[in-house]
């Protein structure tokens, strides 16, 4: 049996977390022996849909007409749609109604975290909703001293110069204003924001903030995964100040690469990232600065080993194993065939203990 990963909208989301998640699904399936495909085949058992564009809804309807199961990935919520692009706050209630309709076309809905699962269930969805991490390729994203040297050489960093990075769309929801303010308060540290958003979609206030960014901030834009790995391995802190997430693949990538991580204290992390154990959490710029300075100065304990363990528990193999369980629950895959009793080797009878007469 094959699983069809529907590619509608992939060109639009290819540089986002949704695009990464689609690639992770393909690889997770391969690693557990299930073949993904990018088109309908005679042995297609189900279709994965990752976007909420109109063509995705049409694909789901077509699949159901053909008697195929639909697995809809709930990457989007009304909450993380807000404070993103022009007009997003005004459109958020309509967006919630639309995604609820879309997800309702699925036989199964999979969303990246327990937090987002509870949000979607609160929308009144009547389909089974499972929480399953998007996963991270822990073979590819791992500590690498050569990558560290490449990053520092690429951006002209002195050996004693500290670097803080973040990754994401250049929007308010991702915490860009706070990141720039943090850089302004720490002029002796280099700050890098990896990611790009079409300026036509970004509110004027964000464009102005980027134009007026302090001199110690660099915007490399969107970079390929290898360059991003260099940044994770070469920087000293990963500061992800996002206000709302359904998971955050970049957080998993950073943890897997062994870089100290600072995140905003928001609900999505509550059940899998603990402050002072796996990451540092804060609620405002003052807290972010205290955490970053503590990491850079070495006055705070190193949490990177525990953070990497979190990433390893969400490896693509682990995600594939769990996905196979969900398929079985949704009757996409048959349940494992029980081993016949006759095929089980008999348990040898116990050997009577010898008795000795004293």
Antiparallel, parallel or unpaired: β 190-194 and 163-167: parallel
For residues 289 and 199, state if they share a domain. Answer: yes
For residues 232 and 281, state if they share a domain. Answer: yes
Residue 280 belongs to some domain of the structure: yes
Residue 347 belongs to some domain of the structure: no
Question: In this predicted structure, what is the pLDDT of residue 273?
Answer: 98
Residue 345 belongs to some domain of the structure: no
- Going residue by residue through the chain, which has 358 residues, state the pLDDT in tens, using 9 for 90 and above: 899 999 988 778 877 889 899 999 999 999 999 999 999 888 999 999 999 999 999 999 999 999 999 999 999 999 998 988 888 889 999 999 999 999 999 999 999 999 999 999 999 999 999 999 999 999 999 999 999 999 999 999 998 999 999 999 999 999 999 999 999 999 999 999 999 999 998 999 999 999 999 999 999 999 999 999 999 999 999 999 999 999 999 999 999 999 999 999 999 999 999 999 999 999 999 999 999 999 999 999 999 999 999 999 999 999 999 999 999 999 998 877 665 555 555 555 545 544 444 3
For residues 8 and 101, state if they share a domain. Answer: yes
3-state secondary structure of 100: helix
For residues 228 and 322, state if they share a domain. Answer: no
Find the domain containing 43 and state its range.
2-135+315-329
Residue 350 belongs to some domain of the structure: no
State pTM to two decimals. 0.90
Residue 348 belongs to some domain of the structure: no
User: Is residue 205 within a helix (H) or strand (E), and if so which, with residue range?
Assistant: helix 204-211
For residues 65 and 108, state if they share a domain. Answer: yes
Question: In this predicted structure, what is the pLDDT of residue 231?
Answer: 98
Residue 355 belongs to some domain of the structure: no
For residues 286 and 209, state if they share a domain. Answer: yes
Structural domains counted in the chain: 2
For residues 153 and 294, state if they share a domain. Answer: yes
Tell me, what CATH number does 109's domain have?
3.40.50.2000
Question: In this predicted structure, what is the pLDDT of residue 358?
Answer: 37
Question: In this predicted structure, what is the pLDDT of residue 357?
Answer: 44
For residues 178 and 105, state if they share a domain. Answer: no
For residues 159 and 111, state if they share a domain. Answer: no
Residue 343 belongs to some domain of the structure: no
For residues 301 and 180, state if they share a domain. Answer: yes
Question: In this predicted structure, what is the pLDDT of residue 348?
Answer: 52
CA distance 158 to 43: 56
Q: Is 93 within 8 Å of 46 (Cβ atoms)?
A: no
Question: In this predicted structure, what is the pLDDT of residue 353?
Answer: 47
Residue 346 belongs to some domain of the structure: no
Question: Angle at Cα 200 formed by Cα 206 and Cα 221, nearest 5°?
Answer: 65
Question: In this predicted structure, what is the pLDDT of residue 342?
Answer: 56
Burial class (CB in 10 A: 0-12, 13-18, 19+), 67: exposed
Q: Is 24 within 8 Å of 59 (Cβ atoms)?
A: no
For residues 92 and 154, state if they share a domain. Answer: no
For residues 244 and 209, state if they share a domain. Answer: yes
């Amino acid at each position: 049996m094959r699983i069809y990963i529907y590619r509608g909208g992939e060109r639009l989301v290819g540089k986002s977390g949704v695009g990464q998640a689609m690639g992770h699904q393909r690889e997770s399936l391969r690693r557990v022996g299930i073949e993904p495909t990018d088109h309908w085949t005679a042995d297609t058992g189900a279709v994965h849909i990752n976007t909420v564009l109109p063509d995705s809804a049409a694909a789901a309807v077509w699949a159901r007409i053909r008697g195929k199961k639909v697995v809809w990935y709930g990457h989007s919520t009304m909450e993380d749609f807000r404070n993103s692009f022009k007009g997003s706050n005004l459109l958020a209630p309509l967006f919630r109604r639309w995604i609820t309709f879309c997800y309702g076309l699925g036989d199964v809905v999979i969303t990246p975290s327990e937090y987002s699962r509870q949000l979607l269930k609160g929308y009144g969805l009547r389909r089974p909703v499972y929480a399953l991490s998007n996963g991270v390729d822990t073979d590819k994203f791992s500590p690498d001293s050569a990558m560290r040297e490449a990053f520092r050489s690429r951006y002209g960093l002195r050996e004693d110069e500290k670097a803080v990075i973040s990754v994401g769309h250049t929007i308010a929801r991702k915490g860009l204003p706070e990141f720039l303010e943090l850089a302004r308060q720490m002029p002796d540290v280099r700050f890098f924001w990896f990611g790009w958003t079409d300026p036509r979609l970004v509110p004027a206030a964000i464009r102005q903030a980027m134009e007026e960014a302090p001199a110690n901030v660099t915007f490399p834009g969107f970079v390929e995964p290898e360059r991003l790995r260099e940044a994770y391995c070469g920087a000293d802190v990963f500061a992800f100040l996002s206000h709302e997430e359904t998971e955050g693949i970049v957080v998993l990538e950073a943890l897997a690469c062994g870089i100290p991580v600072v995140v905003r204290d928001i609900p999505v992390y509550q059940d899998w990232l603990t402050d002072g154990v796996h990451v540092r959490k804060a609620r405002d710029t003052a807290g972010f600065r205290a955490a970053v300075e503590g990491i850079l100065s070495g006055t705070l304990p190193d949490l990177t080993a525990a953070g990497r363990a979190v990433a390893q528990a969400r490896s693509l193999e682990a995600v594939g194993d769990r996905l196979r369980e969900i398929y079985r629950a949704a009757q996409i895959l048959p349940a494992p065939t029980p081993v016949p009793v006759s095929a089980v080797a008999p348990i040898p009878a116990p050997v009577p203990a010898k008795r000795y007469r004293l």
